[in-house]
Amino acid sequence: MEFNCLPTAIGSMPHTDPARACATIAHYLKEIPNWPQLPRRGFRENMYVQYSQGFPGLVVTENSISVDRTRNLEKPLEALYTAYLANDIDKFPISPDNASGLYALLAMPESVRLRRMGVKGQITGPVTWGMTVTDNERKPIIYDEVLGDAVPKLLRLKAGWMEKKLREVSKNTIIFVDEPSMSAYGSVAMSLSREKVVSLLEEVLGGITGVKGIHCCGNTDWPVLLGTSIDIISFDTYNYAQSLSLYPAEVKKFLERGGSIAWGIVPNDDGALAKESVASLNDRLDEAMAPFTRNGISIRQLRQQSLLTPSCGLAALTEEAAERALSLLAELSALIRRRYLRHR
């Protein structure tokens, strides 16, 4: 896939007005807009709650999410598995209260929302969701034999439903599975085997028929993710550029099979953002790409098979700072495409 360093975003924005957030995204990310997650609107738009509706025994309060194992979960589990086996994605939609940005994108005028390259969505990954949501005893449900098996099945249905809705915007869809908890993989904080992680991810990825990627905003064992069926690997290049470069052989193999890298080169921190410019970010990106060119990957191939993104979500910024981040991102993309790839 040749994205040629087009820009897109990871997901979250600081806005509380979904229409305004979508307008900002559409202005700067003209080729590959994404729908914005807006956690400041309330807890229901928290990344762990957004995709949780329909999970057996789910309890959501104003500021917490958990699973009540004392309830009779037989019928809810049966409903979930029946929908999963039939791939009935319409049985588990994402409601407007949980994803106002998605519905705002779908409501935009056709002249604004239809784009040449495609449209991006995102969903919380099964490892992160299952590690964060706990039961009555505060045990992550991913370790529960029954409920842990239900997690990727629900998320697979949610991803398929989202993809179907995004095709109203563009026939070309990109869905990222967001896995920040993978930064804990291999540590005492996560006792999941490589085989289990891959199995969880592949079950969700199997429900995505368009382009699919995984985003991790910290250091992790990248070969685990590169070895899945993903088309795009997305990482925080600004803070962890070296982490991916430790695996040149695996990255080269990934690119050779048509994979792409989403370089999270624009910081999502106020202090770092204030001191960066298009020129400084371009230099930083060149430095991040350099180790791969020393291992048999051409710089042109890297640029052709790349997307540019912020390092992670932008929800922690002010609206003005988030707009500056997207502006830098769009300008950096235009510079690279004009200077090196002869695209405008």
**Token pair listed for 144:** 């529960």
60-113 tens-digit pLDDT: 998 999 999 999 999 999 999 999 999 999 999 999 999 999 999 999 887 665
Distance CA 291, CA 47 (A): 34
- Domains of the chain are 6-339 (3.20.20.210)
3-state secondary structure of 53: coil
Query: What is the rounded radius of gyration, in angstroms, for the C-alpha atoms of the chain?
Result: 19
Q: Residue 188 has what pLDDT? A: 76
The pTM for the full model equals 0.95
Q: Which residues in the chain belong to E strands, given as ranges?
A: 6-7, 58-60, 65-67, 119-124, 173-178, 211-216, 232-235, 260-266, 306-310
127-178 tens-digit pLDDT: 999 999 999 999 999 999 999 999 999 999 999 999 999 999 999 999 999 9
Distance CA 311, CA 26 (A): 19
Range from 37-51, 104-118, 253-267 carrying the lowest mean pLDDT: 104-118
pLDDT at 115 over 60: no
Cβ atoms 13, 37 nearer than 8 A: yes
**Token pair listed for 123:** 């969903």
206-215 tens-digit pLDDT: 999 999 999 9
Cβ atoms 176, 121 nearer than 8 A: yes
**What are the φ and ψ backbone dihedral angles of 173, each rounded to 5 degrees?**
-115, 150
263 beta partners: 235, 308
Distance CA 101, CA 108 (A): 11
Cβ atoms 35, 166 nearer than 8 A: yes
Q: Residue 148 has what pLDDT? A: 96
